[in-house]
Amino acid sequence: MSTGFTILIDGECPLCRREAAMMARMDRGRGGLVMVDIAAAGFDPSRYGATMGEVMGTIHGVTPEGRVITGMEVFRRAYAAVGWGWLLAPTGWPVLRPVFDAAYRFFARHRLGLTGRCEGCVDGRCKV
């Protein structure tokens, strides 16, 4: 079990890579955030109780206690883990939460096309 919050990122997604690198810099080596690349050889989504299609379809995170969470809540917790939770706090406010959650679901559904990877997936993994 990890001591930090774990976020499963798509290392083949340019936007996802930039966001992960930025969050790693924000963590400053404190271990508040652990990143796992779902595009890496040997990645096994079943370890997280998911399929490759599920982890490609929406972002997944794992709390230090081992609970798997998905969607926009992953970003809220990841930013909180690196000390920047205040930045995304408004996305969790009752009136705004549904809007931000829906915006993330839209992005997740169209991520491959939005990041220039329209060719889709081969053998359960997506290629650039």
27 within a domain of the structure (yes/no): yes
Whole-structure pTM value: 0.83
Confidence band (pLDDT; 50, 70, 90) for 83?
very high
Q: How far is CA 23 from the centre of its chain?
A: 11
Supply the range of the domain harboring residue 82. Answer: 5-121
Mean pLDDT of the chain: 87
Question: Residues 116, 87, 89, CA angle at the centre, nearest 5°?
Answer: 105
Name the residue among 5, 8, 115 with its Cα closest to residue 59. 8
- Provide the β-strand partners of residue 7: 35, 61
128 within a domain of the structure (yes/no): no
Number of domains, the chain:
1
The residue with tokens 């508040």 is 32
Percent of the chain with pLDDT over 70: 88
126 within a domain of the structure (yes/no): no
Is residue 119 helix, strand or coil?
Answer: coil
127 within a domain of the structure (yes/no): no
